[in-house]
Amino acid sequence: MATTIRISKEMLQELEKLKKEKMANSYEELIKKLIEESKRLKKSHFGTLPRLEKFGREEIDRFD
């Protein structure tokens, strides 16, 4: 089902620029790409030491 949305001329210009940058064939494809990008974790979300080994608790409890 197709629908129509109202946007400003400035927003349309921005979308046209993004469409060329992202090499999208349509606005729908552009929007899908933008949504996918926003859902992906950014590299900064992995912390400053992404190669650090996974944390594991010690077998001996220090507070006996």
- How many other C-beta atoms lie within 10 A of the C-beta of residue 34? 14
Task: Name the residue among 36, 27, 37, 38 with its Cα closest to residue 4.
Answer: 27
Q: What percent of the chain has pLDDT over 90?
A: 52
Taking only the tens place, the pLDDT of each residue in 14-36 is 999 999 999 999 999 999 999 99
- How many other C-beta atoms lie within 10 A of the C-beta of residue 24? 17
Task: Name the residue among 30, 7, 1, 36 with its Cα closest to residue 17.
Answer: 30
**pLDDT value of residue 1:** 84
Which residue's structure tokens are 């349309």?
12
**pLDDT value of residue 2:** 86
pTM for this prediction: 0.61
Tell me the C-alpha distance between 32 and 64, whole Å. Answer: 54
